[in-house]
Structure 1
Amino acid sequence: MTEPRASAFITRNVLFALVGGGLGGILFMFFLIEFDHFTSTNQFCTTCHSMTFAETSYQQSVHYNSPSGVRASCGDCHVSEGIIMATYDHAVGIKDLFKQLFGADYNDPVINLLHLPDAAFASRDWFRRRDSATCRRCHLQEAIQGTRVHTAAIHQEETDGKSCVDCHFNLVHRPVPERSTFKREAWNAMVEQEFGLEPGSAEQLLAAGRRPAGERPPAAAAPAHGVGNGQQQAGLEP
């Protein structure tokens, strides 16, 4: 009994399919790499007008104006490392695009600020789930010395069960209290005071997600980095 020859299985069509599939896979990986690079840039992230509020505060932070000249981009902090996880993050981020298109009017600085705590809490949860992996791209924990007494010891001896974001937050964008101390009523009152709104109107705007046309102030009316008049009411430091 003769054994089947390899050529009987590897026909011309199969060979073309293998070569074509391999080349297609390589091209697809190049596409993902370029897609990740493009969609992680500040220019792409701020194509949505609502993100310009976050950009303004970011440009006033040390992550943008670093004395050493190192500048962290949106993608450096908010997109995981590695093409697979980065692609996953971008895919999950599509839900934010749907919210932008079909949800609340985030282009309105008042609505944007009312929803800011929810965005901050979601972002911190994301960092905790990944053990602040994007922070560790630049910050080597065992090499941190700091300028205050015991900074090095704290980062080497008192970090069990903690992630970077557990201690270090409100560094880049407008300050938002930790979830455990956040008070929605105080935050709403701060927004009302900051924009000259009627008392109690913030809760209605939060539920409606938008304001009638003609009632929106110019985008520049939104303070950049959270030095609003009512911050202490919301549990923030002046």
Structure 2
Amino acid sequence: MNTLPINWLTEGLIDFEYKKYLLLAYLQAAKEEFGHQRLYPVFSDLIMHYRNLLQVKEHKKLVYESFPQRISRADFEKLELVYEKIVEDDETMQQIEEIVQYAAPLFGEAVESGKELYDFVERHIEISPVGITPIYHDEGYLFLEAFPSKETQVYVYRITVFENTYEKYRGINTRHLQTVRRGLALTHENLKVQLLRERQELPNPATFAVVSKIPVPLENSLLPIAKRSLVKYVANLAA
């Protein structure tokens, strides 16, 4: 997909028409991804760019937490220094402000489209516990079933808590273990028992099944949304 650099606003030629060309090409590519129901990674990328634009628009500064993990603190400080020099240049800053004014509502519309797709997929998945759920829910197995596939994807998951300047939030890591073909004899409960026999590192794992009722891409939509939905589901169990 046509991507937009993290520092697209200040990188290269700072000209309204040029930046408009880059932006529209990027947003068209994002729209095509959503049209194929491929939500990630473009949705998180859009949110990052939109948040950064709003910070620039409101405060005329960049905020490190608005950027994804792929940018280091050292790289951000270099980018921040470049931006501070631009702010001091009235003519260049006027160009930046015009670009921001033009881009912000377009990013807002694109993010809203992503939210609608996210909500649509989330409404069409079902989460249910498999067997008896232990008190500790932050580590265990995730059974993921796409539609209309006859296979179950088995993952180990671990939920961790992070904090940034704005809030405390939960993240989830998953590791794919295996793919099994579903059948009358291989229920979710039987699969959990089989895993307990084969793997000793999780003697009493929380196990959840996430089943999709609509066809969506596994890696780009179903798995990321299933992971986030599981985090919310587990948080409610612990509440």
TM-score range normalised by the length of the shorter chain:
under 0.3
- Structure number with greater Rg is 1
Tell me the TM-score normalized by structure 1: 0.25
Higher strand share: 2
